[in-house]
Structure 1
Amino acid sequence: MTRMPLRTSRFEIVHELPYRIRLRSIMMLAPDLDLNYLQAGVESLSGVTAVRVNGPAFCIVVDYNGTDSTRTSIIAALKQIPNEAFLNRNEKGHSVDLFDIGAKTAVAAAIPILPGPVQMATSWGLAIPGIVTAIQTLFTRGVKIEVLDGTVKTLSLLRGEYFTSNSIGALLSLGEYLEDQSEQKSTDLLKTLLKPQIEKIWIERDGREIEINFTELQVGEIVVCGPGEMIPVEGTIVEGDGSVNQSSITGESVPIHLQPGDATLSGTVVEEGTLKIRADKVGSETGMARINRFLETSLRSQSKTQLKSSELADRLVPLTFALGLGVYAFTHDAARAAAVLTVDYSCAIKLSTPIATRTSMYTASQAGVLLKGGQALENLAAIDTLVFDKTGTLTQGILKITDIVPIPAFSEKELLSIAAGAEEHYAHPVAKAVVKEAKDRDISLPEVSGVDFIVAHGVSAYVDGKRILVGSQHFIEEDELIDCASMKETAHQLRDEGKNLLFVAMNEKLIGIIAMRDELRPEAAETLAGFKAAGIKHIEILTGDHRSTALALAAQLPAVDSVHWELKPEDKAAIVKRLKDRGAKVGFAGDGVNDTPALICADVGICMPSGADLARESAQVVMMDEDMRTLLKARLIAINNRDTLTSCLWSTVAINSATLLLAGTGKISTLTAAMAHNLSTVGILGYAALKTSSSPCESKPKEPLNEAL
């Protein structure tokens, strides 16, 4: 199996304190190295608290917990940098700082009082890099903004307008700086999200499967991973085979089949089967693998709106250039031509979209929702239909055991012990409820083996050599052909009370039923009404529960338009597809492994914070707060972002057209046109950042939902 490509680099330690290390490498001067990516990668390592990168000085400063293991991990991570940290195209951001802006501004202000020869030498010296870039751009990429800037500077210098040339340079640096700050703000968010999320894992010791803290795992131990679980280590499969989703690391969307002898990548997700993996690398040694493509999809990729804005901006640059040449051809006035060339529509159009989008992503994260890129933000604003999987989204997902009904040969304690033993390995709300109830009653759990998860159906395991099946009635009665007639009336009565049922069988015979209830989230009804007020036209509920249980829940939610029950995972995806075929823009919210097909099929897949790893990987939107109102906030933030971009576009057109008219008719000078254009651009970018930096729900924190409506 192909591993992530690496580039070897040589970092040397230039200074070190007990909790801080400073390293230097000429590699950091590589023009295609994404320093944001490098910084995020190092900061994702366990034990690292802060990272500061100084590109021009080719240094990186790392604050950490002071342990030898973390220090070793930092050096190892910097020794081999993933190829994904290197940009394939000319995408590298600016490196303008306040000192650079201040220096250019000071030079522009001092130019009028300097001797003539000094003015000329200084101005040409500062302008030549930009002019060279303009020439290179013209021959490699055509007429772009760099060509306009270089032409304006050249014309100003040829006319002896040194103050104008330097002032334009200072204004351009200010614009670049503002763009940098917006990008850095978004990157800072992502760095905090790249920390490993795994806390507990299952390992096999002495023939038993036990749960330990992830930090306690040692090299050589056997890790057990079931469906929907993230593989926490880089290792080798020693037993079992299954389907593994590696898209987060390799970018390949098709799951691959792994079997004994195959290597695993940390951060990938098991879709089917159970794998026993010998840990070859553990802890912070796998930190770089965890970065996966999330940073790339969130910052490097562009939404459809961003791409359209960029294309429009690129098409307008030659138009401005042609207007400048036309003005000179008719007037033979170089000053007017230069004034026209300073007015460029593309700056505000091209920059306002990423600034607004990234700031909105940051704002949404502060509200408790993670958006995986600009397209997710755009899609969230566009949807008109919301589909909810019931358990864990509209309900609290914290099931409480209400009834334990064994057959006469078993006691409640025995039935609960058997069921909890089989379910202990399964990260599902039903399993957690059963295990919690057993622990609350101080019931010891039996040793189990051969645990097998049947997604959306149940669990199979062996206790003292006896085969145990725990799951839905459909799983027990129809798939496993076990007679459940003896408890038909009991099951019917419990369902009429709105309870979920778990059937337990031993050696092909039903031994009891466990009933539980999942309470509706207190904010659910209010939030769904809020979605209707925020432009959502249709809301549906999907559930695998029995008809009576589903209808009992839907009766409490007036905003719900339709409810479907007794569904299989493929049924949920089919319903989402049917809605899309009718022309609906669909958002689907779920949290389980069985929700993955629907999450992928929807225009926007939304996962709850406690969702399975596979669901979190598949979703475009991941909630970081259990409160459903945070999702409504994210919807309002997305709509606000869309409206802000529309305002920015029309403001750009209006202001620049007016400035262009004044410049072309000679009403304003080159410097005035440049100032009007650049200051209006900065103003529009500031508006985009300011308008999207505050949640629409912030003004009344005690009543966020009412304020949002």
Structure 2
Amino acid sequence: MKETIKNNRSLRIAHELPRRIRIHYPHLYDPLLDAAYLQAVIENLPGIVRTRINRRGGSIVVEYDGRPENRTKLLDKLRDLPAEAYAHGDLNGSIAPELADVFLKGALTLSSLKTPLEVSAPLSLLLGLPTLLNGLDTLLNQGIKVETLDAAAVGLSLARGDFFTANSIVTLLSLGEYLEASSENRSTELLKSLLRPQVEHVWVERCGEEVREPISHVAVGDRIICGPGDIIPVDGTVVDGEASVNQSSITGESVSVHLHPDKEILSGAVVEEGRLIIQAERVGSETSMARITRFMENALRMKSQSQTHSAELADRLVPVTLALGLAIFMLTGDIARATAVLTVDYSCAIKLANPVAVKTAMYDAAHSGVLVKGAQALDALAAVDTLVLDKTGTLTNGVLNVTDVISTGALTPDALLALAAAAEQHYAHPVAHAVVRAAEERRLELPAMSNVDYIVAHGVSAYVDDERVLAGSLHFLQDDEQVDCSGVEELTDRLRREGNNLLYISRSGILEGVIAFRDDLRPEAPMILRGLKETGIRRIIVITGDHRDTAQAVIGPLDEVSELHWEMKPEDKSRIVKDLKDEGATVAFVGDGVNDAPAMITAQVGICMPGGSNLAKEAAMVLLLEDDLKALLKARQVATHTRTVIDNCFKSAVGFNSIVLLLATLGLLPPVASALLHNMSTVSILGYAALGSRSANRG
């Protein structure tokens, strides 16, 4: 079957089966088209099972679910390819050879040992011509690169009539390119395996009935029904039912978890047994799976600073090798020795080891509940020496609980709590949630409020029976509203020393009482901070808006904390981070609130807790998927281990190739042996980059 797509005559259907389609796509010949990114985009379309791109043949083979609407979406996407699919530089280089090409070149190389000169000469020239032309083109357009070295080595062998050596070098180059491409493709496939097809339709509970609706119609608060085999499409909380759920694609847990009401669940998990009704808390682009998809697509494109530096250094070493080869030829007249030198270059292993290690590390990090937004983020996280944490929601659980309700006027404690809850019930704030929750637990009836006004970072103003009620901080009531709070200093000082935060309540200008809250330290916090110090973090700084006594009571037991800043306003956070950077520190900021976003952007690395605001998640370079500080330590360990692997790859590439280069210079290695050892070392280093990153990150 052949079909030309409207408005794009270069795209046509070459062959099609009910669930498989092969598309002739000449755009693949464009060196600026990022094939890995294109494949990721295709595989993230609904209904797509598997994609194979053949750049050499200019075709794309797609396996899908056979649904006509998904076929249409695929063709529409290819017809209107996003500009992001094209790089600003040549990311792909030359098209990697197929394995069949390598075998063919190997067979021709062996045959050149037996064929007569009149056959082997033109055959060898034909075999080496692509390498020669590629080297010449590179020299004229980009300068002296590794392709120039390859062309020089092949050219010298042809010039002296050593056709077997010339053919062997071409074959080994082809084999090396194939193995290098395979290694990088495997690391890319690891990342792309995190991209899951979107769920298109879901069952939603409407007025007691189950209704099938498009996922785009689902809103926060809807009750989603998921049965065996279903991919959970939203982040939310189980409100009914029990099930065994596999969430390995999100958290890396290989063992299925048992979910029951009140348990939280992330999108992307799969129901194995049972049935769940989930109340949606995050939908669409805000779900965990949507963020994974977005981050991983970007990760396929990003280069780190260390990767760029490695590539630049590798390119600078090429002229050195070329000059050495020419010098040996001029001094000794030995073409074989000069050719052996030219077959050795540092470029391949140095350039490719970094992206292979980074992609593998990012895959393992994602399976451990850590999303890293690209190679640069991983690089920066490894270099961090100063960690700044917002106390609430990071070192603490982020859930305030009422500990004391103390009346100082005519109201009973329950009446005081009901008054405060009535004023706070309209606002999504931790203090408001704690007050309202405490009132609900006591089953208190709340008075009717009017003219409710929320004053940011201060408190709430409202009216009950024409009497003005204020609920907020000491500064708000005493300094801004001139409410006399002098009679409770001894009481409030004691509460703060116990680690409590305080909410003051007044009515008609008279203080009615104080409500105390406490946000407990996470039990794993001391161990995690010690672990972070062991990875090379020199300073750990905690920032909080709490009163000094409260902050010191909570953070005091943490010996690993270098500095504590209390009563900080939102704008103070980014100022402190900027001051640290000006001092020469490499800073990571950990937070979760809207007011943490400026500090995250200011820091070299912003890290967001899983319950963070949308703005904080967008600003962060690292996103933790599990509400556990162990994920923070894991993120740091992944980064530092990966840097160690990359450093080892670099040292190995330089060291081994220098030895081969020395032996070739001394005439102890023939050209074929030199080329073989060079390619073997490159493939070995790439294998270590992939396997070393995985073993380190799991260790």
TM bucket by the smaller chain?
0.7 to 0.9
Aligned residue in 2 for 1:305? 306
Taking a change above 3 Å as real, the CA distance of residues 71 and 660 of structure 1, as seen in their structure-2 partners, is: closer
The residue type equivalent to 2:683 in the other structure is V
Say whether residues 1:672 and 2:673 are aligned partners.
yes
8 Å Cα contact 1:171-1:678 kept in structure 2: yes
Within 5 Å, which residues of 2 pair with 1:219-258? none
Give 1:523 deviation, angstroms. 1.5
The residue type equivalent to 1:36 in the other structure is A
The residue type equivalent to 2:639 in the other structure is A
8 Å Cα contact 1:457-1:475 kept in structure 2: yes
SS of residue paired to 1:422:
coil
8 Å Cα contact 2:292-2:371 kept in structure 1: no
Note the alpha carbon deviations across 1:283-324, whole angstroms, 9 max, x for none.
69x99x989985676343433322222221111111111111
The residue type equivalent to 1:88 in the other structure is H
Note the alpha carbon deviations across 1:384-414, whole angstroms, 9 max, x for none.
2222111121122233344566883984674
Say whether residues 1:422 and 2:421 are aligned partners.
no
8 Å Cα contact 1:179-1:355 kept in structure 2: no
Within 5 Å, which residues of 2 pair with 1:22-33? 23-33=23-33
Taking a change above 3 Å as real, the CA distance of residues 667 and 560 of structure 1, as seen in their structure-2 partners, is: same
8 Å Cα contact 1:422-1:460 kept in structure 2: no
Give 1:665 deviation, angstroms. 2.6
The residue type equivalent to 1:694 in the other structure is S
Say whether residues 1:82 and 2:86 are aligned partners.
no
Say whether residues 1:316 and 2:317 are aligned partners.
yes
Cα distance in 2, alignment partners of residues 432 and 71 from structure 1? 47
8 Å Cα contact 2:422-2:448 kept in structure 1: no
The residue type equivalent to 1:692 in the other structure is S
SS of residue paired to 1:600:
helix
Note the alpha carbon deviations across 1:116-170, whole angstroms, 9 max, x for none.
5554444333322222111111100011001111221222233343333333333
Q: Which moved more, 1:524-533 or 1:168-177?
A: 168-177
8 Å Cα contact 2:43-2:51 kept in structure 1: no
Aligned residue in 1 for 2:158? 157
Cα distance in 1, alignment partners of residues 462 and 34 from structure 2? 48
Cα distance in 1, alignment partners of residues 447 and 171 from structure 2? 73
Note the alpha carbon deviations across 1:149-206, whole angstroms, 9 max, x for none.
122122223334333333333333343344434544454455466679999xxxxxxx
SS of residue paired to 1:666:
coil
Cα distance in 2, alignment partners of residues 352 and 83 from structure 1? 28
Aligned residue in 2 for 1:353? 354
Taking a change above 3 Å as real, the CA distance of residues 86 and 691 of structure 1, as seen in their structure-2 partners, is: same
8 Å Cα contact 1:190-1:295 kept in structure 2: yes
Cα distance in 2, alignment partners of residues 23 and 302 from structure 1? 30
Note the alpha carbon deviations across 1:261-298, whole angstroms, 9 max, x for none.
xxxxxxxxxxxxxxxxxxxxx969x99x9899856763
Give 1:583 deviation, angstroms. 2.9
Note the alpha carbon deviations across 1:331-354, whole angstroms, 9 max, x for none.
222211111111112232222233
Give 1:86 deviation, angstroms. 0.9
Cα distance in 2, alignment partners of residues 463 and 115 from structure 1? 107
Give 1:441 deviation, angstroms. 7.1
The residue type equivalent to 1:34 in the other structure is D
Aligned residue in 2 for 1:370? 371
SS of residue paired to 1:138:
helix
SS of residue paired to 1:667:
coil
Note the alpha carbon deviations across 1:356-379, whole angstroms, 9 max, x for none.
333333333333322223332232
Say whether residues 1:390 and 2:376 are aligned partners.
no
Aligned residue in 2 for 1:593? 594
Within 5 Å, which residues of 2 pair with 1:41-52? 41-45=41-45, 47-48=46-47, 50-52=49-51
8 Å Cα contact 1:422-1:448 kept in structure 2: no
Aligned residue in 2 for 1:654? 655
Aligned residue in 2 for 1:337? 338
Cα distance in 2, alignment partners of residues 146 and 467 from structure 1? 80
SS of residue paired to 1:650:
helix
Give 1:103 deviation, angstroms. 4.2
Within 5 Å, which residues of 2 pair with 1:391-406? 391-403=392-404
SS of residue paired to 1:112:
coil
Aligned residue in 1 for 2:664? 663
Aligned residue in 2 for 1:40? 40
Give 1:503 deviation, angstroms. 5.7
SS of residue paired to 2:545:
coil
8 Å Cα contact 2:184-2:352 kept in structure 1: no
Within 5 Å, which residues of 2 pair with 1:161-176? 161-176=162-177
SS of residue paired to 1:597:
helix
8 Å Cα contact 1:367-1:695 kept in structure 2: no
Aligned residue in 1 for 2:256? none
Q: Which moved more, 1:155-164 or 1:67-76?
A: 67-76
Note the alpha carbon deviations across 1:641-682, whole angstroms, 9 max, x for none.
333333333333332222222222322211011112221222
SS of residue paired to 2:62:
strand
Give 1:687 deviation, angstroms. 2.5
Note the alpha carbon deviations across 1:33-70, whole angstroms, 9 max, x for none.
2122222223444x445441323352252535x77765
Cα distance in 1, alignment partners of residues 481 and 192 from structure 2? 47
8 Å Cα contact 1:321-1:341 kept in structure 2: yes
8 Å Cα contact 1:9-1:81 kept in structure 2: no
Cα distance in 2, alignment partners of residues 440 and 673 from structure 1? 78
Taking a change above 3 Å as real, the CA distance of residues 71 and 675 of structure 1, as seen in their structure-2 partners, is: closer
The residue type equivalent to 1:573 in the other structure is S
Cα distance in 1, alignment partners of residues 685 and 667 from structure 2? 25
Taking a change above 3 Å as real, the CA distance of residues 683 and 414 of structure 1, as seen in their structure-2 partners, is: same
Q: Which moved more, 1:132-141 or 1:592-601?
A: 592-601
The residue type equivalent to 1:379 in the other structure is A
Cα distance in 2, alignment partners of residues 452 and 25 from structure 1? 60
Within 5 Å, which residues of 2 pair with 1:197-216? 215-216=216-217
Note the alpha carbon deviations across 1:216-235, whole angstroms, 9 max, x for none.
259xxxxxxxxxxxxx9xxx
Cα distance in 2, alignment partners of residues 60 and 473 from structure 1? 67
The residue type equivalent to 2:609 in the other structure is M
The residue type equivalent to 1:52 in the other structure is T
8 Å Cα contact 1:419-1:434 kept in structure 2: no
Taking a change above 3 Å as real, the CA distance of residues 491 and 321 of structure 1, as seen in their structure-2 partners, is: same
Aligned residue in 2 for 1:252? none
Aligned residue in 2 for 1:148? 149
Give 1:446 deviation, angstroms. 11
Cα distance in 2, alignment partners of residues 213 and 482 from structure 1? 54
Aligned residue in 1 for 2:682? 681
SS of residue paired to 1:151:
helix
Taking a change above 3 Å as real, the CA distance of residues 160 and 497 of structure 1, as seen in their structure-2 partners, is: same
The residue type equivalent to 2:307 in the other structure is Q
TM-score by length of 2: 0.74
Q: Which moved more, 1:313-322 or 1:674-683?
A: 674-683
Taking a change above 3 Å as real, the CA distance of residues 15 and 475 of structure 1, as seen in their structure-2 partners, is: farther
Aligned residue in 2 for 1:606? 607
- Structure 1 unaligned segments of length 5 or more: list them: 1-6, 200-211, 219-231, 233-281, 699-709
Q: Which moved more, 1:289-298 or 1:580-589?
A: 289-298
8 Å Cα contact 1:596-1:614 kept in structure 2: yes
Taking a change above 3 Å as real, the CA distance of residues 441 and 28 of structure 1, as seen in their structure-2 partners, is: farther
Give 1:616 deviation, angstroms. 2.0
Query: In angstroms, what is the RMSD of aligned CA positions?
Result: 4.4
Say whether residues 1:381 and 2:382 are aligned partners.
yes
Q: Which moved more, 1:612-621 or 1:128-137?
A: 612-621
Cα distance in 1, alignment partners of residues 127 and 12 from structure 2? 34
TM-score by length of 1: 0.73
Aligned residue in 2 for 1:225? none
Cα distance in 2, alignment partners of residues 333 and 418 from structure 1? 93
Taking a change above 3 Å as real, the CA distance of residues 134 and 461 of structure 1, as seen in their structure-2 partners, is: farther
Taking a change above 3 Å as real, the CA distance of residues 215 and 600 of structure 1, as seen in their structure-2 partners, is: same
Give 1:548 deviation, angstroms. 2.0
Give 1:488 deviation, angstroms. 6.5
Aligned length: 611
SS of residue paired to 2:576:
helix
Give 1:551 deviation, angstroms. 0.9
8 Å Cα contact 2:191-2:363 kept in structure 1: no
Give 1:550 deviation, angstroms. 1.0
- Structure 2 unaligned segments of length 5 or more: list them: 1-5, 201-212, 220-233, 235-282
Give 1:568 deviation, angstroms. 1.0
Q: Which moved more, 1:293-302 or 1:48-57?
A: 293-302
Identity %: 48
Cα distance in 2, alignment partners of residues 21 and 501 from structure 1? 65
Taking a change above 3 Å as real, the CA distance of residues 213 and 567 of structure 1, as seen in their structure-2 partners, is: farther
The residue type equivalent to 1:53 in the other structure is R
Cα distance in 2, alignment partners of residues 577 and 283 from structure 1? 34
